[in-house]
Amino acid sequence: MPTFDLSISSLRELNTALHQVEEGNNDIHFDILNPRGHHAVAVGIAAHLTVDIKGSVGYYCAGMNDGADIVIHGSAGPGVAENIMSGTVVVEGDASQYAGATGHGGLLVIRGNASSRCGISMKGLDIVVQGNIGHMSAFMAQAGNLVVLGNAGDALGDSIYEAHLFVRGQVKSLGSDCIEKEMRPEHHDIVANLLRRAGISGVDTAEFRRYGSARKLYNFHVDNADAY
Amino acid sequence: MCGIVGLFLKDRRLDSSLGSLLSDMLVTMSDRGPDSAGIAVYGKPTLGQIKVTVQSPQAEQDLRSLAGDLEKAGLKSSVEIKNTHAVIDTTADLAMVRVFLASRYPQVRIMSAGESIEIYKEIGLPKSVVDRFGIRQVSGTHGIGHTRMATESAVTTLGAHPFSTGLDQCLVHNGSLSNHNNLRRELVGEGIAFETENDTEVAAAYLTAEMAKGKNLREALAGALDDLDGFFTFVVGTKSGFGVLRDPIACKPAIMAETDSYVAFGSEYRVLVGLPDIERARVWEPEPATVYFWDHAAAA
């Protein structure tokens, strides 16, 4: 059970140890103390570790995660779990801008609020936010699911591709080519499954509305050829 | 990139720690801006006195005779030399002091003027800037600091922030304005003089000009949302106050912490971790296009 105290050890020592875990050695749990807003904590993990970060972190925490289960017992700065490939990242507090940016897979759970640009360019990861999300969230979101129990800010899903957005609260405004869509049984299943995986109970999927692409912006139409 | 730090003390018992708290916060931001750094501190005003902070590349030689010359010109002052800067404490009329400096000491640049404010800024790493001006020993009620990564204009002493374009007013900026040349032309037309090509100097002058027309700082900042094009997080200092404004897109980071004893600002959370009682502070990100303002006078 390695413990790293970032007030004593360097960030490099920590991340090196996290990267040196052998494949197949799934039994390792790391505790990280005193992160005190450090950037790039627990980035680039490529093994099925579990990591507990005891405090708030700076930018890009758990970036490029591929397989680890990481819990941040505090809040996270911009870019938490950016480019995540697989695994789970849980933020007990709030997350700053562009949480989960360009993530390809895995699950990001934010128990507090997320700031602007949550899920920007997401490519397959699932994000569950128990609080609110800020403006320009899911900008150019290509694939994956974003489930928000609170409200969404301005310009939700601007230029969105095929990601699914589910919001339970109010959406301040929708972005370009993002429209409300019908919640069909398969969508209720997606939301139910994600709520369960995020450890959230007592929430009815019927309370969510679905938003997605009108598909007029990212599909070429010959009538618009003159515009190019 | 640039890094901004700010501290507005509510508890007067912390005044003697202002300099050391701000210094630690500023040095933490060195990664965001290694070119130059600057700090504005608001200390206790003395009734009837104005402080003018000036800078000269060879302050020891250039300013040795300053106090005596000011006295001979009938402008009674004391001068404290701090590395490349000096603080002129005077009971004389400020306009006359400016005329005197422009004619007798033209190589000297005025960093700030006002009842409370002192501005120190130089090229170099934040650690060297706080050390050379003894910032850790300074006490005061509020202060703003900035570390610069120059993008729109050259790395020079005058290009560093904070910019002061009015009495006891200063501004620091993380971001970059795109219509600053046009706005500068308009402000020059209104009679305002500029010393640099810097976009932030234009923003500072804009706010000063708007307040000179009768707006208060809150109104001037609200007007900035319409009149300034570009991206910005601004932190503004006035004699008794401290304001924050982010543009509507709000790409440039900003984080704040508030307790019963202080309000603090940082470009990154790690700026705030050394502050007293930070574990129990309310920590939040200021909303885009929203003016935030704290004022000692209002709180009194």
Distance between CA atoms of residues A100 and B12, nearest Å: 42
**pLDDT band at B154; cut points 50, 70, 90:** confident
Average pLDDT, stretch A97-111? 98
Distance from CA of A86 to the nearest CA of B (A): 27
So where are chain A's domains? 3-218
Distance between CA atoms of residues B43 and B6, nearest Å: 14
Q: Domain range holding B28? A: 3-45+123-299
In Å, how far from its chain's centre is CA A124?
10
The CATH number of the domain holding residue B23 is 3.60.20.10
Is residue B222 located within the same domain as residue B261? yes
Q: What is the rounded radius of gyration, in angstroms, for the C-alpha atoms of chain A?
A: 18
Distance from CA of B30 to the nearest CA of A (A): 14
Is residue B74 located within the same domain as residue B85? yes
Decide if A132 touches B, using CB distance below 8 A. Answer: no
Is residue B60 located within the same domain as residue B136? no
Average pLDDT, stretch B254-265? 97
Q: Specify the residue for token string 């911009």.
A: A78
Average pLDDT, stretch A202-219? 95
Is residue B36 located within the same domain as residue B183? yes
Average pLDDT, stretch B73-98? 94
Tell the burial category of B288 from Cβ atoms under 10 Å away from its Cβ (0-12, 13-18, 19+).
buried
Is residue B102 located within the same domain as residue B143? no
SS3 at position B174 = strand
Measured between beta carbons, the chain A residues lying within 8 angstroms of B251 are: 97
**pLDDT band at B299; cut points 50, 70, 90:** low
Decide if B2 is catalytic.
Answer: yes
Is residue B39 located within the same domain as residue B170? yes
**Cβ–Cβ below 8 Å for B269 and A116:** no
Q: How many domains does chain B have?
A: 2
Is residue B62 located within the same domain as residue B182? no
pLDDT at A38 over 80: yes
Measured between beta carbons, the chain A residues lying within 8 angstroms of B30 are: none
User: What is the percent of chain A with per-residue pLDDT over 90, rounded to a whole number?
Assistant: 90
**Cβ–Cβ below 8 Å for B269 and A37:** yes
Measured between beta carbons, the chain B residues lying within 8 angstroms of A76 are: none
Distance between CA atoms of residues A121 and A137, nearest Å: 9
Is residue B38 located within the same domain as residue B86? no
Is residue B252 located within the same domain as residue B150? yes
Q: Is the ipTM of this complex over 0.95?
A: no
Is residue B162 located within the same domain as residue B234? yes
Of B272, B273, B285, Cβ closest to residue A115: B285
The CATH number of the domain holding residue B76 is 3.30.70.120
Distance between CA atoms of residues A70 and A51, nearest Å: 5
**Cβ–Cβ below 8 Å for A75 and B283:** yes
Q: CB of A118 within 8 A of CB of A136?
A: no
Q: Provide the mean pLDDT of chain A.
A: 96
User: What is the percent of chain A with per-residue pLDDT over 70, rounded to a whole number?
Assistant: 99
Q: Say what the pLDDT of residue B189 is.
A: 95
Q: Provide the mean pLDDT of chain B.
A: 93
Average pLDDT, stretch B218-222? 93
Distance between CA atoms of residues B273 and A40, nearest Å: 17
Q: Which CATH superfamily includes the segment(s) A3-218?
A: Glutamate synthase, alpha subunit, C-terminal domain (2.160.20.60)
Q: Say what the pLDDT of residue B286 is.
A: 96
> What single DSSP character describes residue B136?
G
pLDDT at A221 over 90: no
Q: What is the pLDDT of residues B105-122, one digit of tens each?
A: 998 999 999 999 999 999
pLDDT at A55 over 90: yes
Is residue B39 located within the same domain as residue B53? no
Q: Which residues of B touch A (CB under 8 A)?
A: 249-251, 253, 255, 268-273, 283, 285, 288
- Which chain A residue's Cα is nearest to B289? A135
Q: What is the pLDDT of residues A112-147, one digit of tens each?
A: 999 999 999 999 999 999 999 999 999 999 999 999
Q: Say what the pLDDT of residue B60 is.
A: 78
Across the A:B interface, residue pairs with CB atoms under 8 Å apart total 33
Measured between beta carbons, the chain A residues lying within 8 angstroms of B249 are: 136
Measured between beta carbons, the chain B residues lying within 8 angstroms of A115 are: 285
Is residue B109 located within the same domain as residue B19? no
